[in-house]
Structures are given as C-alpha cells and as structure tokens.
Chains A and B, each alone.
Chain A
Amino acid sequence: MSRRIYALLLSSAILSCALGAGPGATMTIADEAGSASSGDAELVVGLPQDLDNSLDPYQITAAGTREVLFNVYEGLVKPDTDGNFVDAVASAHEISEDGLTYTFTLRKGVLFHNGDEVTIDDVLYSFDTCAATTTNSAVEAALSDIQDITADGEDVVITLASANSSFLSTVSSVTIVPASYKDQATAPVGTGPFKFDSYSPQDKAVLVRNDDYYGDKPALAKVTCRIFDDANALYTALDSGALDMAFHLTVDQAGSLSNGYEVSEGEMNLVQALYLNNANPPFNDERVRQALCYAVDKDMLLDLTEDGHGAKLGSSVYPSFRKYFAEDLVDAYPYDPAKAAELLQEAGAEGLTFTIKVPSNYTQHVDTANVLVEMFAAAGINAVIEKVEWNSWLENVYKGRDFEATVIGFDAAYLSPDALLQRWVSDNGSNFIGYSSPEYDAAMENAHTSAKDEEQVEAYKEAQKILSDTAANVYLQDLADFVALNPEFTGYEFYPLYAVDFSRIHPAS
C-alpha cells in the first residue's frame, strides 16, 4: 500500500551534516547555476507519494505536495536553508520597533507564470483569499490577528493587533497568486523558479524552468517527478538509474544503494512518539505514563529501527528548531524497567494491558510499535498492536479520540515552535490526547506575550519541560532521512522545513 505522507506527518527538511557549506558557498553555486541557465539539463525525481490534493497553495495539506510546489509558489518572503526569511516577491521588508507594523516593498517586474505582472492588488487578493480559504487553522489564526492591510504605493503595510514574533513564517505561507486566475487547483500559477507544466495522477508531474524568474535562473530546464506509491519500486527504479534523485529513503535503502549515487543524511523533522490518551484510564495517571517512559530504551529503539541514525527526543520539539530544542530532556527518563515496575505498582496498575493503534501505511511507525511491544513485555507490560487503515485512524483515533495509545509523527506545518507545541494547550481542537495542564497553558501564554527573544525561547523550553515532567507522551525519536542524488548533478541542500529546492541543483560538470 502506498506510503502517503500527509501534513500531519513528517517531513523532509533536514539539518544536514553538510550544512557546513554556509550561505557563502550557496551563493557561489547559485551563480554558477545562473550562468548555466541556457542549459537543457533534465532531472528525474522519484516522489514517494502522489500530489493527490488540490494544488491550490492554500488548500495543500499533503507535506509531499508542499515540498514540490515550493519551487512553484513564493510568498512575499521565503525561508532559506538556515531557516531565515529572505525577500522573494517583496524586495525589502521592515518591521517596526513594537513588532506591530510590517512593511513589504513589492519587487518590480515580477511575472507570474502566465505572463502577468504581479501587482499590489494580487498581493492583497492573496492575503484575503488565504485568510478566507486556508485549511491551516494556525495560519488562519495568525492572519485573523491582522488589524489592517493596505497598499501604500509599491508597499504593502500590515498592522497586527498584537506582536507576533513568528509572523514572518505566516507571511511566507501566504503565497502570491494572480487575482484573475481561477484554476490554481489543477494548474498552479505562481512566481517561483519553476513553472508547473503538467500533471497526470499517479504517474508524474512535470516542472519546467521559469525563464522570466527575477532571481538566479535554475540550471535545470525540466524536472520530471515520477510518482510511486511503493517504496520498494521507487528504490529499484532509483538503483537502476531510472531516477536521478529520491528523498525520504530509509537507512536500509540508503545503505544498499549500489549505483554510486551520493547520499546525504538529515532528519525527517517530525516528533515520533507513543501518544497516550491522557483523558482516560489507564493513562490519566501520570505515574503510569512515566512508567512507560522508563520502560523504553531509546538507544536500543534507534539501533533497531534506524541502525542508530536519527535523533532521540524528549519532548514535542525536534532538533532542527535549534535554539528552541530542549536537548537536556532527551534523557529525562533513562531506561529503567525496575523503576517502571515500581511506578506501576504504586499506581496500582500491575499487569497493565493496553492497545497501540498504529496506521498501517506508515511502516516506520508500525516498526516502532513492534519494538515498543517487545520492550514493554520486558517490563511486564502487555501492549497489543492494532494496525488500522489511515483514514480510519484519522476518524477514530485523531478525531474520535477513541484510543489508548498510538504511534505517529507530527511535523511542523510552519517554522515556529507553535506549530508543534500549541496543539497541547488544554482547549486546542487538535489536542487529541486530551492533555490538560494549567502550567503548560501558562508557559505557552508566556511564550506568546514575551517581547524579548530570549524570554520567548525560555518559555518554549519551559513548556517542553512540563510535557516531559508530566510524561504527556512517550517521546521517541526524529527519524533519519536520506536523499540520494545522481553524481552528474550537485547542489542539493536541506531546508529546516518541508521543501526540496530544485533551483539549486545543477549539472556537476
């Protein structure tokens, strides 16, 4: 069955060991790429899932679709490989002292893929349409905080009701689309370095170079994305050389690749955990939850599922968030089955038996569940796996909250710790584990109202510590992610969010 990757789940972006090649080096590569823009190099990429949703930028829910269309759509600003926001459709942006007013200057002469020039009206239309139609409740919430948005000559001025230190990430997700164009869902038109050429469901999507791009023009004339929904078929196609590039490979696939492709390693940027239903017995008892944490040997888990690759997690934020990531929590619960048994006894839950519901289409989560069952058995806990079909999982576990425990991974839909942490606030609609902690709510409130960056970082770390202390979930790992590229090409770079930037890839010679 397919390995579809949805918004809920995972992702690409990676804190690569190759990140040493800083922005400087990147610029050189981009320059070379620019000079090679007349080339007709073609890249064939394997996608591990279909682009099966609407391609309208505000309707995209599948992370795998977002990742490809990153090349087609741009906002006023867009993220770079370091997670900073750089100007895109805007040529400059300015934030007022109080953090309430954002001024973006529209870049001159930016053309949409249909040949029309980007106007201020298109920008206003994009913000309006995004606010009204986006399927992302967090972006919707951030946009609803806009008090006023006006055109001032070539500038767009946005005034916020309250300061929001991660507002630029919201701006980057408002991609600029033409006001007069109605077919975004099937034939996307944006301003990015690649034009969306064609798409045939379950077969392929083709991107071609945007020769009118305002920035450095891509070296690749054409990118063909072949759609697979079987990881094994994708792998054999890659190994045989039918594909030039593939991402989201497993450690085993990366290791057994025999065709000399270059493999880069990063992390998937997701929080994989055994999520526990805090609202109901047996996991409404903190001691029982802590017992599970002590019963899991994370190093062994990493060895078994990832050959030791990947990163251990101790709370709901993954390492690519760098300064926000509370590294000291990773080993908050060292492996100690005796302590687990003790805690269970204290809670009167000896011989604990529970069911782990896990979506059957995600091999990595099923594998993890398998390992957990073994580890729990060693601590005298009887866990049973129930594989459920993905849509049933969404309906029953995620929406219906009818579960005891489940293994899943959450990714960040945008570049702010809120994307991962806001979920667990008591009254959040997506708080499917029914986590309720006044201290946590207070810490998150703190994070939102702190004016200073350091204070905000501290507040986010405090929130993570509360999650860890109360053992909200059994936090496990951020899985390793591997990208393979034909040595005839070079220039692949990891982003700290879900994106594969084809414009940086160019022929090696």
Chain B
Amino acid sequence: MKIRKNAYFITGGILSAILTVIIVTGLFWTPYSTTAMNAQEKLQPPSWKHILGTDNFGRDVFSRVMEGAGTSLIIALLVVVIGCVCGIVFGSLCGYFGGAADLILMRICDAITAFPAMLLALVIVSLTGGGAGNIVLALGILFIPSFTRVVRTEYASCRDLNYINAARLMGVSNPRILYAHILPNTLSVLIPTITIGFNNAILAEASLSFLGIGIQPPQASLGSMLKDSQNYLASAPWYALGAGGAIVLMILAVSLLSEGVQQGTCRI
C-alpha cells in the first residue's frame, strides 16, 4: 500500500513525531521530578521556569504531562489493539459466515454494549485489583463490541461481491478471503473506527479516573490529571488546559495521520 503524500499526513506525522519524542523522553527524563512537591510553588501560572505552570503540590505540570501522556498512550494503544484484533476476528467470522454463531456473538456484544461500562469496570477492578494492567483489560473488553459491529457490517456487505465469489470459485481458502481479500476493503471504515476507538480509549481512562478506579497516584495519567485539575479550574485553569490540551493533541495527531492515510490511499 503506497501512501500519497498530503498535508494531513505530513501535519499528523510531524505532530505525532513531536509527541512521540516528548513521550519517549518522558519515560527517561523530565525537566523536574514528577513527584517532588514544593509548597512555595503551588499553582503557579505558566512561566519560563514552568512552561505549563505548577499543580496544587507545586509539581511541574509539563513534567507530569510528559509522564501522564506516556501512561495514557500505552493504555489507549493496548485497549485499541485488544478491541480491534478481537473485533476483526469476531466481526469477520460473524459477517462472512452468519448463522447461529453470528446470532449468539452479536447477542453477547449487545449485552456488553448495553451494560454500563462503569459497573463492568468496577467488577473487573474489584476482581483483579486496581492498576494499569487491569484497566487495560477492563477497557479492552468494553471496546470489542464496537469494532465487531463495524467489521461485521462491512463483511456482510462484501461477502456476495463478484470478486469474492470469483476468489471462492478459484478455490482460495476462507482465511485468505477473509483477511487478504476483504480486510483491505474494510480499511476505509476500519481506520476511522480505530481513530474513534483511540479517542474513546483515552476518554474512558479519564472516566475511570472520575470513578476513582483509574491509575494510582502519584503515577500520572492525562485522565487522572484532568480529574485532579477540575478542583482548580477557577484558580489554575492552566492545569486543566495542560492535561486536556495534551489529550486533544494526542487525539489530533492520530486522527490527522489516519485522515492522511485515507486520503493517500483513495483510489481516485
């Protein structure tokens, strides 16, 4: 697959590259300690010393954003990977073959979708204990149905197309038809779904923080920072803007890239 260069792809690429550098750097080094507190520098507005200001413990917001973005990125990526891989497998089988398995799997998907995410997350966390790994697990399960549904619809509308029939007549194996022939054609729908999924995964992590079952402090995630910053919205809006802005930039980078890929692969 060759991608034609376009403005979105380039912008998204540059933004992603910058964010990646910042996040990767954040894993090894931050301008200030992400945990050391300083009572004299509480809730300082942005300055040359602290470009995103400081939080309620006098910690450098930029340093914490660097760490938090890494945490959130890893969680979101893993969640999307779990959701997407399982979704493609279930969705393709359901959409292509249909039948009883389709019916049963879709009912289960319905039940998971229809079940309040919070309650499910609470159950999983109380079964397995808190922490990043279990959050990934809980959210991953929650994300499977949406991918399954989208993939299934695509497969159902593709299965009787001429080129698929032709492939079948030529004796191409089912797995090959499913994943070599049809899958590339679902990309135009799958890529936005992945983008939305990534967006939702970051958001879901933030929602869990709101329930108090997210990341454990003092580790930072963008969601937990945003939740903490809410109490200081009036006196220190930069705190919320730092954490929220990072979320927006991350999502933006990913969706620009996906837009670029889509436009680049458009068969015009």
Contacts and interface: CB of A to CB of B under 8 A. Distances in A.
Interface stretch (B78-86, B181-189, B229-237, B244-252): B229-237
B211 A1 contact: yes
Interface in B206-258: 210-213, 216-218, 230-235
A367 B58 CA distance: 13
A359 B130 CA distance: 13
Interface stretch (A41-49, A384-392, A460-468): A384-392
Given A1-B210, A387-B130, A370 B218 contact: yes
Contact of A232 (B42, B218, B231): B231
Interface string A371-387: 10110010000001111
Contacts of A386: 130, 216
A252 B231 contact: yes
Interface in B165-215: 210-213
Interface of B, secondary structure class, is: loop
Nearest to B126: A392
14 contacts: A1-B212, A232-B230, A232-B231, A239-B234, A256-B234, A258-B234, A360-B213, A367-B56, A373-B35, A374-B37, A384-B216, A385-B217, A385-B218, A389-B213
Interface of B: 35-37, 39, 42-43, 56-58, 122, 126, 130, 210-213, 216-218, 230-235
A304 interface: yes
Which of A255, A363, A384 has the most chain B CB atoms closer than 10 A to its own CB? A363
Interface string A29-73: 000000000000000000000000000000000000000000000
Interface in A220-245: 231-232, 235-236, 239
Given A239-B234, A252-B231, 4 more contacts: A360-B213, A373-B218, A374-B37, A387-B216
Contacts of A258: 234
Contacts of B232: 252
A370 B57 contact: yes
B39 A303 contact: yes
Nearest to B210: A1
A262 B175 CA distance: 72
Contacts of A300: 39
Nearest to A230: B230
Contacts of A361: 212
Contacts of A250: 231
A304 B213 contact: no
A373 B230 CA distance: 23
Contact of B57 (A252, A371, A377, A385): A371
Contact of B235 (A1, A256, A371): A256
Contacts of A369: 217
Interface of A, secondary structure class, is: helix
Which of A360, A377, A386, A392 has the most chain B CB atoms closer than 10 A to its own CB? A360
Contact of B217 (A1, A239, A359, A370): A370
A336 to B, nearest CB: 19
Contacts, number: 73
Nearest to B57: A304
B212 A387 contact: yes
A362 to B, nearest CB: 10
A1 B228 CA distance: 11
Contact of A389 (B39, B57, B122, B218): B122
Interface residues of A, number: 35
Contact of B37 (A252, A371, A388): A371
B235 A255 contact: yes
A22 to B, nearest CB: 35
A377 B39 CA distance: 17
A430 B231 CA distance: 33
Contact of A252 (B35, B56, B122, B130): B56
Contacts of B233: 232, 236
A273 interface: no
A165 interface: no
Contacts of B210: 1
Nearest to B232: A252
A389 B37 contact: no
A472 B117 CA distance: 41
Interface string A239-277: 100000000001011011010000000000000000000
A384 B58 CA distance: 20
Nearest to A300: B39
A389 B217 contact: no
A367 B218 CA distance: 10
Contacts of B36: 374
Given A1-B211, A360-B212, A389-B122, A366 B231 contact: no
A335 to B, nearest CB: 14
A384 B215 CA distance: 12
Contacts of B122: 389
B234 A235 contact: yes
Contacts of A239: 234
A396 to B, nearest CB: 10
Q: Which 9 A-B pairs have the closest CB atoms?
A: A360-B212, A303-B39, A256-B235, A256-B234, A232-B230, A304-B39, A385-B217, A374-B37, A252-B235
A391 B42 CA distance: 32
A389 B35 contact: no
Interface string A287-320: 0000000000000100110010000000000000
Contacts of A384: 216
Contacts of A1: 210-212
Contacts of A256: 234-235
Contacts of A363: 231
A105 to B, nearest CB: 50
A491 B99 CA distance: 74
B220 to A, nearest CB: 11
Contacts of A236: 233-234
Contacts of B130: 386-388
A366 B212 CA distance: 10
A432 B235 CA distance: 38
A11 B234 CA distance: 24
